[in-house]
């Protein structure tokens, strides 16, 4: 894409937002990227500072959620807040930014786990109970975009990632997405010479997509696709034991020091997005293999989440370039952990 676009990004300070904004700026676009303090999307008047400005694109990344048991603990608040955020951004788009293309981020948690995770089933069946509200608010966002497209001809796109991993994740003490939690547990156990207990038998499978791959897909699909929903996954899932083995190999931790508590609930046995549509739209999309993408992330977690003292401020964007990811794009999960074990369910 050669033209410089005027782009509004919600959720710009989040894990994905920081990476996406960096890539958009590197591509020469003009970005408006307010934090929630500067633009609280729960308020209808939060867009007042940009009244009169016309945007070519709106990336809607903001969502009120976290990993772990957050969704189980806050279903009511999550419904209210996410519906407010989504309704306000859709209203602004429909009333003041009709020329803009709106690109939102969906979730694999919106799918009914009993159905194939392919785009035509996004609204079918029922999301898993523990993530029901989160999944349903994402479905409603998609339904709202579709309705505004039908009535007013607005252009939109929803991209559904599997669980994202990469550097520059949150290091502020919140509950961690499963891969970060698994790394933290193993690195910490190695440091303190203790064992690690994981929930389930370790054979439940999960899918990850590297942040750089996802951002590359977002940039490409934003230019080449519209009025549709596209899953963006690596196309293969791995057992928790495989993730653990890779982390052990990289850190020198003995895998025999990991125990599995098979009495614990572990959620879906398998969770992998179908990516036929993505492969049609991006035949050259080749996500980095875990064995290449994971080691720099393990190093990042070791530095940021384990070895830094609680009071030292985390480095918000330490980007380590993964060589295989440089596929012509200038860019630099939501799964869960429950207490001391690990369920690794949603995203
Ligand atoms: N991470 C994953 O593995 C994953 C997987 C699938 C889908 N997704 C989706 O991808 C998007 C980005 O995920 P992420 O991991 O980057 O999430 P994140 O790090 O939690 O970021 C969420 C962002 O939402 C913003 N936000 C929350 N409440 C807001 C409000 N009232 N007004 C304005 N902004 C508000 C936050 O802003 P402040 O920080 O300024 O408060 C934050 O920047 C989300 O929609 C998420 O559902 C993520």
pLDDT in tens, 131-186: 999 999 999 999 999 999 999 999 999 999 999 999 999 888 888 999 999 999 99
CA distance 19 to 22: 5
Judged against a pLDDT cut of 70, whether residue 321 lies above it is answered with no
Cβ atoms of residues 93 and 120 within 8 Å: no
Pairing of strands 155-161, 163-165: unpaired
Cβ atoms of residues 123 and 136 within 8 Å: no
Q: What is the pLDDT of residue 137?
A: 98
Judged against a pLDDT cut of 60, whether residue 341 lies above it is answered with no
Judged against a pLDDT cut of 50, whether residue 320 lies above it is answered with no
What tokens were used for 53?
């400005």
The CB of 144 under 6 Å from ligand 1? The reply is no
Q: What is the pLDDT of residue 322?
A: 37
Q: What is the pLDDT of residue 279?
A: 98
CA distance 230 to 208: 16
Classify 236 as helix, strand or coil: coil
Q: What is the pLDDT of residue 327?
A: 33
Q: How much is the CA Rg of the chain, to the nearest whole Å? A: 20
Whole-number Å distance, alpha carbon 12 to ligand 1 midpoint, is: 8
pLDDT band (50, 70, 90) for residue 339? very low
Give the mean model confidence (pLDDT) for residues 101-127.
97
CA distance 164 to 16: 8
Cβ atoms of residues 308 and 150 within 8 Å: no
Q: What is the DSSP string of 263-296?
A: TS----S------HHHHHH-TT--PPPHHHHHHH
pLDDT band (50, 70, 90) for residue 264? confident
Mark residue 59 as left, alpha or beta (left: phi above 0; alpha: psi -120 to 50; beta: remaining). Answer: beta
The CB of 40 under 6 Å from ligand 1? The reply is yes
**281-293: per-residue pLDDT in tens?**
999 999 999 999 9
Whole-number Å distance, alpha carbon 24 to ligand 1 midpoint, is: 17
**27-60: per-residue pLDDT in tens?**
999 999 999 999 999 999 999 999 999 999 999 9
Higher pLDDT, 307 or 217: 217
Cβ atoms of residues 115 and 105 within 8 Å: no
Q: Of ligand 1's atoms, which has the minimum distance to the CA of residue 40? A: 32
Q: Is the pTM of the predicted complex or chain greater than 0.75?
A: yes
pLDDT band (50, 70, 90) for residue 269? confident
86-90, 231-235, 310-314: which has the minimum mean pLDDT? 310-314
Residue with CA nearest ligand 1 atom 18: 14
The CB of 333 under 6 Å from ligand 1? The reply is yes
Mutate to test the pocket of ligand 1, among 12, 13, 16, 138 (most ligand atoms within 8 A of CB): 16
Mutate to test the pocket of ligand 1, among 10, 12, 14, 34 (most ligand atoms within 8 A of CB): 14
Number of other residues whose CB lies within 10 A of the CB of residue 195: 12
pLDDT band (50, 70, 90) for residue 2? low
206 contact partners, CB below 8 Å, separation of at least 6: 163, 178, 237, 238, 240, 243, 271, 333, 335, 344
Q: Of ligand 1's atoms, which has the minimum distance to the CA of residue 109? A: 6
Q: What is the pLDDT of residue 68?
A: 84
pLDDT band (50, 70, 90) for residue 307? low
Give the mean model confidence (pLDDT) for residues 88-116.
97
The CB of 200 under 6 Å from ligand 1? The reply is no
Cβ atoms of residues 166 and 19 within 8 Å: yes
Whole-number Å distance, alpha carbon 232 to ligand 1 midpoint, is: 17
Which homologous superfamily is 6-325 in? NAD(P)-binding Rossmann-like Domain (3.40.50.720)
Q: What is the pLDDT of residue 267?
A: 73
35-44, 194-203, 306-315: which has the minimum mean pLDDT? 306-315
Cβ atoms of residues 45 and 96 within 8 Å: no
Q: What is the pLDDT of residue 74?
A: 94
């Amino acid at each position: 894409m050669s033209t410089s676009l005027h782009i509004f990004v919600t959720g710009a300070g989040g894990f994905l937002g920081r990476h996406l904004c960096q890539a958009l700026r590197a591509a020469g676009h003009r970005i408006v990227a307010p934090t929630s303090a500067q633009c609280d999307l729960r308020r209808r008047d939060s867009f007042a500072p940009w009244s009169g400005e016309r945007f070519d694109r709106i990336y809607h990344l903001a969502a009120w959620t976290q990993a772990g048991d957050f969704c189980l603990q806050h279903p009511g608040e999550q419904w209210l807040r996410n519906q407010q955020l989504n309704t306000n951004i859709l209203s602004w788009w429909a009333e003041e930014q009709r020329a803009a293309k709106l690109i939102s981020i969906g979730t694999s948690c919106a799918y009914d786990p009993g159905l194939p995770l392919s785009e035509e089933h996004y609204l079918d069946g029922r999301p898993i109970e523990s993530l029901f509200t989160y999944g349903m608010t994402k479905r409603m966002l998609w339904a709202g975009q579709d309705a505004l497209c039908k009535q007013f001809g607005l252009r939109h796109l929803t991209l559904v990632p599997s669980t994202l991993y990469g550097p520059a994740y949150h290091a502020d003490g919140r509950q961690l997405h499963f891969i970060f939690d698994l790394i933290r547990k193993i690195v910490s156990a190695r440091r303190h010479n203790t064992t690690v207990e994981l929930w389930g038998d370790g054979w439940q499978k999960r899918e990850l997509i590297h942040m750089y791959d996802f951002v590359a897909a977002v940039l490409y699909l934003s230019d080449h696709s519209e009025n549709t929903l596209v899953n963006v996954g690596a196309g293969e899932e791995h057992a928790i034991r495989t993730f653990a083995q890779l982390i052990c190999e990289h850190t020198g931790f003995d895998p025999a020091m990991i125990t599995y508590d098979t009495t614990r609930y572990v959620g879906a046995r398998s969770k992998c997005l179908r990516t036929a549509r993505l492969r049609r739209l991006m035949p050259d999309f080749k996500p980095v293999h875990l064995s290449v993408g994971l080691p720099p992330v393990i190093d990042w977690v070791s530095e940021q989440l384990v070895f830094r003292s609680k009071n030292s401020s985390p480095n918000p964007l330490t980007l380590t370039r993964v060589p295989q990811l440089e596929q012509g794009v200038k860019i630099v999960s939501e799964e869960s952990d429950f207490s001391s074990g690990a369920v690794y369910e949603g995203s």
